[in-house]
Structure 1
Amino acid sequence: MMLFGFILILLCNKDVRSKDLVTVNFIKSFVIKEHKPTYLVCYGLCWKKNQNLNLLKELSNGGIRSIFSTHTSTYQEHETMFLIDLDCPWSEELFSNDSASNLFAFPYRWLVLNSLEDKSNILSDVPLSPGSDFVLASRENDTFTLHELHKTSSIGEVISNRRGYYNGTFFDIRPHKELFRRRQNIMGHPLTMANVIQDSNSTQYHLEDRLEAQHDSTAKISWMVVKLAFQMLNATPRYILSHRWGYKQNGTWSGMIDDILHNRADLGTNCAVYTERLDVIQYTDTIAPFKVGFIFRQPPLSYVTNIFSLPFSTEVWLASIGCVVFSIITLYFASKWEVRLQRTPSQLDGTVSDAMLVTISAFSQQGCTLEPRKASGRMMLWVIFTALMALYAAYSANIVVLLQAPSSAIRTLTQLSQSKLTLAANDVDYNHFVFGMYSDAIRVKITNRVKPLKGKAHFYEIKEGVERIRQGLFAFHSIVEPVYRRVEQTFLEMEKCDLVEVDFMMGFNPFVPVKKDSPYLELLKVSFKRIRESGLQSAINKRLQVPKPKCTHRISAFNSVGILDLWPVLALMLYGTAVSLVILLIEMMTFKMYVVI
């Protein structure tokens, strides 16, 4: 009898070990069949020490990293899989712990072991979401039956889908391996979008009918694309309206961001990326790209530089100066020799001043009453006039072109801040916040010109702003699309060719904001990408957005020459007059030539 009892004990122990080995092999097989990098966290297992060691050994032999700890690294979120046994007494406490609620969302994965005992009362309180990858493995003898559990919303019922079974061999019966394709039906659960409209209140009545296309094109495109995404997810589309994108003032968010933060909306209209917003929202994808910046016509070339020095290169100017100096020297010696032979009133008197006078007359193609009398001097004068005539013709032709040419001097924010253009902005909500968000010297300088500390701020309606752009010397800050739409309607063809835009915010492309840790984040991301890849997003954008007007061909147009264009010439005349007066005073003092009044 004692021998029989001992054998029975051995058999019982062997049966326990075999059951443990089945569980270990199942866990190992499940992780391998995931075909993903996995870091297995054995979350509070109450197994015996030798069973835990056996599990770690088998996982290590299979090349699977594992740890018996509740600690998780944020750098391995996409690899983390939690293993928990519902037969352990503290598993129920884990599911009801609020601090662990985020662990049931994407990208964490869960493998939960269960015996035949019904644990539905525990699992119904688990904070699952549409993106949860939560697998319940129920054991009966040596067979594990796998079910995936998720909810369409935090208050919804638990939905169970058969995943597969294990009886020594793992069988995966999922229709699709991608989580999105298994969860894209959220069964009519309502999703709400916060739409930002700022151009016109009537936009709320024309979000989809393409009427009043000049107003709030970004909001309309965003809603059309988001509605398609909602339909792909079998969600009930809803929207609310806001008149502000959302900015933080005195620690409180406003507008669309506040709607998302306080669960009045699940996502919002395409918006710019700001560091502050990353604390409360996540960005998904760009669906209605737009640019924000200063738009202006390049000022005339004479506005930014002295055009009278541009016709010739430095080498040509140096060669011309050398030619003039050489002419003065040769005429001086020729006239010096002629004076010794004969002297007449119209003859050069052999001084440097007369030689300079004749050379400058030739340089300006004006002629002079004084001239050489001999053949050598006249031949020299003819050569000088001929050479300088070619330079004069080339110079005059270039000046005519340069007087009408636009410049390319303003291409960066620094150049814009140093220019003399009038800086202004579209009178909409976001511009009143944008100018004041930056602290660097260049943007502060521009902000002070748009919103001077004293005097009236330069904010204009879109129509007036575009008209001022057309008139020139005016830079207008706005979302570029409505400006270009107005430009197409009001600008002449030749006026479109010198349009330039300079980015003030220097930011990324706008993205759709979703609340941080939203359960629908991954579903929306994939939906937006599929809409873009199908071409629907591009088609909607082309219907409602106007690109930058193309300069198909430049038409010659001549504008009147103003004082600004001739300022270098006028300045030269003023300087010349001042120098001549100084010389006159010096001569009067030197030769005692006083005028008695």
Structure 2
Amino acid sequence: MDKTWIFVYLFLILSPFEVFSAININKNEYSYAVTFLKDFLLNDAQISHIVAFLCWSTGNEGYYAAVHVNCTKKNLYEFSENKVLYVLDTSCSFAGACLNLANDRKLFKSPNKWVVMDGFTSDTENFQSTNTDRSLSSTENNTKIVQTFENNCDGVNSEKVQLDKCPITFMSNLTLLVDSEVVIARRRTEFQNILLFYIFKRRKNLNTIVWEDFGYWNKKTGLVDTRLSRITAIRRLNLQKTPLISSVVILNPDSINHMAYDEQNRVDTLTKVNFILATHLVDFLNGTPKYLFVPTWGGMYSNGSFYGMLGQVIYGEADIGSTPMFFTIDRTKVIDYISMTTKTGASFVFREPPLSSVANIFVLPFEWTVWVTIIIFVALSCMALYFTNAYEDKLTKKETKREDAKTTVELGELCLIAIGAVAQQGTSIEPRSIAGRIVNLMLFFTLMFLYVSYSANIVALLQSQSNSIKTLSDLLNSKLKLGSEDNLYNRYYFQAYSDPIRKAIYSQKIAPKGETPHFYAMKEGVKRMRTELFAFHMEYSVGYKYVNDLYREDEKCGLQEVQYFDMTYPWFSIQKNISFKEMFKIGMRRIHETGLQSRENQRFYTKKPICSSSATFISVGLVDIRPALIFLGCGISVAVVLFIMEMLIKYRSYLINRIQGRLMYHSSHNQSQVSTAR
């Protein structure tokens, strides 16, 4: 929007019906003030709307864009959602009440801006300084001048002081914090110069007003901007040892005794690395660090109040939550996040299980199409052997001229021949015909190549690990046992998710009914991960320290991660709309750019171990040959069942023959007795 006509939005308040009549200002003086305001607007490119509270009456109606009779909430909130410039003349009777109303409505916060015009009436007695005869230059220290404006206000009760007599003292009661942009425009030397300076306080509970140069204006030079930077936060980065309060989460009470890097850095690591980063931030801002230690990140009670670090940040007890928090929808409604400080997180970490533990390696060497081809080839070979054997039987009978000569191989024997060929065991039956020998030779020769290929693949597969577990669903359906590091956020977030897979993981594998929930100390979980088929949910940057200490080089290979928490990296948190927000963001960006953040993270955190060892031979265990043992067991079971059936059949035949013999014996004995009796 063009700045030359945006001035039309000025709301000039005329109050002819007030008890205090409007203060008169002549036409020349009015033109002088309006020219200054136009130059001020042209100097600031970030103003979208203007709301002015002025009580000037010149009799020239053409100067007025609009007329209001008082400073009301409606006028203050005319453009409350935009970058508004508020203009106020301290000589107006309602000026003090207007400032108090704006303070109650928090209208001094960024991105709003204020110009408080002081000494712009013809009655200049009360606004003359002891240095009114001094002219301003671009190199003059304006702060030394403005400090003499209210020498006669020393000792005056700030709660009873009048705005038009001691405006700075009056405004010391307002909430003008480091993000506010309140410019005092003080007229000097009979309208020839206007001195511009900011006033603000570094903390709400400090009544000490800080003066900051803006520049000066006169008709000859226009507006001369002497600010070091147009960005407010950059100009005020030096907090002059102002206290900055950090909230710190301590899970282990002993950690407070060794917050710096030492041998205990494996406990509360997230807290310690960010404690140091928060200390760097306070040093960068030249503040004085103060700390509040709490045992939890916090949450919300049933009555709607908050506790823990979250509560301290929300209620303004702490300026910054220096132990990072994860992003959640509920938290973003009540706090702001300013910087990601630590690229760490928690995941299920496990060693890749042996391939034999998740699949039957005895069927993996060949694809299913190869298996089908082998079966068809063996079947056709058996059929060829059967026909060639039948032909040999026919020739044998013809040569010997004996019909009882039998050389035909039965079906069962053909199956044994095929199995012997597959296992490269040979056969006791040798074909006599050339055709039969060729078929037998091709069968054994072909299966020999397949046997060699199969054996080589089996050896490789026995040394292989499975990479099939890549998702939470794979983890749930795997044979791995699951456990988690025992801390507050793991216990909370494992139960917080409602999707079916995560709920099933928690209810079936982390905290199954009738068992103690599987939460372990970090060292214990890493040890179990080494010796068992076990996936451990841990802060991996810390857990890898234990992996480096406890594992052999070859055991560090094949470590896999599956993320359970669907979250980004944790961030520093601050109160909503806190005045230090931009300064904190600038400070954290500088800490990142200068490498301090990377340095502290490398000191405290360990990266995933690199597999540097050569291939190591792994002995074959019972788990690896389990399918073969199952097959052997099934074969033995079938053989035993058939043996028992054969024995029963044989015993049944024996019983039948014996019973029949008994019956025949008794029958013949009875007949002999009858014959003797006769």
* Deviation of 1:509 (Å): 1.0
Quick one: structure 1 residues 235 and 592, their matched pair in 2 at CA, closer, same or farther if it must change by over 3 Å? same
Query: What's 1:154 paired with?
Result: 204
* Deviation of 1:90 (Å): 4.1
- 2:352 pairs with one of 298, 309, 312: 298
Cα shift readout 1:195-229 (whole Å, capped 9, x = no counterpart)? 2222x433212212534222222222111111111
Quick one: structure 1 residues 211 and 339, their matched pair in 2 at CA, closer, same or farther if it must change by over 3 Å? same
Indicate if the aligned counterparts of 1:333 and 1:350 stay in contact, CA closer than 8 A.
no
Indicate if the aligned counterparts of 2:396 and 2:405 stay in contact, CA closer than 8 A.
no
Cα shift readout 1:91-112 (whole Å, capped 9, x = no counterpart)? 4334323775533223333334
Given the alignment of the two structures, is residue 95 of structure 1 paired with residue 99 of structure 2, yes or no? yes
Query: What's 1:550 paired with?
Result: 610
Query: What's 1:5 paired with?
Result: none
Query: What's 2:40 paired with?
Result: 30
Distance in 2, Cα, partners of 1:346 & 1:84: 130
Give the length in aligned residue pairs. 565
- 1:177-192 mapped onto 2 (5 Å cutoff): 177-192=230-245
Bigger shift: residues 252-261 or 381-390: 252-261
Query: What's 2:568 paired with?
Result: 508
Query: What's 2:490 paired with?
Result: 431
* Deviation of 1:235 (Å): 0.8
* Deviation of 1:22 (Å): 4.5
Quick one: structure 1 residues 587 and 341, their matched pair in 2 at CA, closer, same or farther if it must change by over 3 Å? farther
- 2:183 pairs with one of 123, 135, 141: 135
Instruction: Find the residue that maps to 2:546 and give its secondary structure.
Output: helix
Aligned amino acid, residue 271 of structure 1 = M
* Deviation of 1:153 (Å): 0.3
Quick one: structure 1 residues 186 and 377, their matched pair in 2 at CA, closer, same or farther if it must change by over 3 Å? same
Query: What's 2:421 paired with?
Result: 362
Distance in 1, Cα, partners of 2:512 & 2:235: 57
Instruction: Find the residue that maps to 1:102 and give its secondary structure.
Output: coil
Cα shift readout 1:470-506 (whole Å, capped 9, x = no counterpart)? 1131111221222111111001111111111222111
Indicate if the aligned counterparts of 1:112 and 1:135 stay in contact, CA closer than 8 A.
yes
Distance in 2, Cα, partners of 1:491 & 1:586: 55
Quick one: structure 1 residues 44 and 299, their matched pair in 2 at CA, closer, same or farther if it must change by over 3 Å? farther
Given the alignment of the two structures, is residue 285 of structure 1 paired with residue 339 of structure 2, yes or no? yes
- 2:171 pairs with one of 114, 119, 123: 123
Quick one: structure 1 residues 500 and 348, their matched pair in 2 at CA, closer, same or farther if it must change by over 3 Å? farther
Aligned amino acid, residue 134 of structure 1 = V
Aligned amino acid, residue 384 of structure 2 = T
- 1:523 pairs with one of 583, 590, 600: 583
TM-score, with structure 2 as normaliser: 0.76
Query: What's 2:450 paired with?
Result: 391
Unpaired stretches in structure 1, ≥5 consecutive residues: 1-14, 56-66
- 1:561 pairs with one of 621, 625, 628: 621
Bigger shift: residues 405-414 or 258-267: 258-267
Given the alignment of the two structures, is residue 246 of structure 1 paired with residue 303 of structure 2, yes or no? no
- 1:225 pairs with one of 258, 277, 301: 277
Query: What's 2:142 paired with?
Result: none
Bigger shift: residues 508-517 or 484-493: 508-517
Cα shift readout 1:528-572 (whole Å, capped 9, x = no counterpart)? 11011001111111112111111123431313412x333333444
* Deviation of 1:16 (Å): 5.1
Cα shift readout 1:120-174 (whole Å, capped 9, x = no counterpart)? 2442222111122222333453644321222110122221212012334221101
Distance in 2, Cα, partners of 1:51 & 1:478: 71
TM-score, with structure 1 as normaliser: 0.85
* Deviation of 1:578 (Å): 6.9
Cα shift readout 1:413-435 (whole Å, capped 9, x = no counterpart)? 22212222211111222222122
Query: What's 2:559 paired with?
Result: 499
Aligned amino acid, residue 108 of structure 2 = F
Aligned amino acid, residue 203 of structure 1 = S
Distance in 1, Cα, partners of 2:87 & 2:268: 50
Indicate if the aligned counterparts of 1:346 and 1:370 stay in contact, CA closer than 8 A.
no
Instruction: Find the residue that maps to 1:284 and give its secondary structure.
Output: strand
Aligned amino acid, residue 391 of structure 1 = L
Distance in 2, Cα, partners of 1:370 & 1:91: 120
Distance in 1, Cα, partners of 2:589 & 2:55: 44
- 1:282-431 mapped onto 2 (5 Å cutoff): 282-342=336-396, 349=408, 353-431=412-490
Cα shift readout 1:397-426 (whole Å, capped 9, x = no counterpart)? 211221232111112222212222211111
Distance in 2, Cα, partners of 1:421 & 1:94: 69
Indicate if the aligned counterparts of 2:511 and 2:517 stay in contact, CA closer than 8 A.
yes
Distance in 1, Cα, partners of 2:235 & 2:647: 103
Query: What's 2:19 paired with?
Result: none
Instruction: Find the residue that maps to 1:241 and give its secondary structure.
Output: strand
Distance in 2, Cα, partners of 1:596 & 1:115: 134
* Deviation of 1:380 (Å): 1.8
Instruction: Find the residue that maps to 1:435 and give its secondary structure.
Output: helix
Indicate if the aligned counterparts of 1:245 and 1:257 stay in contact, CA closer than 8 A.
yes
Bigger shift: residues 132-141 or 570-579: 570-579
Bigger shift: residues 268-277 or 45-54: 45-54
Distance in 1, Cα, partners of 2:405 & 2:209: 114
Distance in 2, Cα, partners of 1:479 & 1:259: 25
Distance in 2, Cα, partners of 1:46 & 1:445: 71
Indicate if the aligned counterparts of 1:193 and 1:239 stay in contact, CA closer than 8 A.
yes
Distance in 2, Cα, partners of 1:68 & 1:346: 124
* Deviation of 1:230 (Å): 0.7
Distance in 2, Cα, partners of 1:309 & 1:430: 44
Given the alignment of the two structures, is residue 110 of structure 1 paired with residue 122 of structure 2, yes or no? no
Aligned amino acid, residue 178 of structure 1 = I
Instruction: Find the residue that maps to 1:558 and give its secondary structure.
Output: coil
Query: What's 1:452 paired with?
Result: 512
Matched residues, percent identical? 31
Indicate if the aligned counterparts of 1:348 and 1:370 stay in contact, CA closer than 8 A.
no
Distance in 2, Cα, partners of 1:335 & 1:380: 11
Indicate if the aligned counterparts of 2:178 and 2:579 stay in contact, CA closer than 8 A.
yes
Query: What's 2:65 paired with?
Result: 53
Indicate if the aligned counterparts of 1:339 and 1:350 stay in contact, CA closer than 8 A.
no
* Deviation of 1:89 (Å): 4.4
Unpaired stretches in structure 2, ≥5 consecutive residues: 1-24, 68-73, 121-163, 656-678
Instruction: Find the residue that maps to 1:230 and give its secondary structure.
Output: helix
Aligned amino acid, residue 455 of structure 1 = E
* Deviation of 1:259 (Å): 2.7
Distance in 2, Cα, partners of 1:494 & 1:558: 11
Instruction: Find the residue that maps to 1:104 and give its secondary structure.
Output: coil
Indicate if the aligned counterparts of 1:463 and 1:486 stay in contact, CA closer than 8 A.
yes
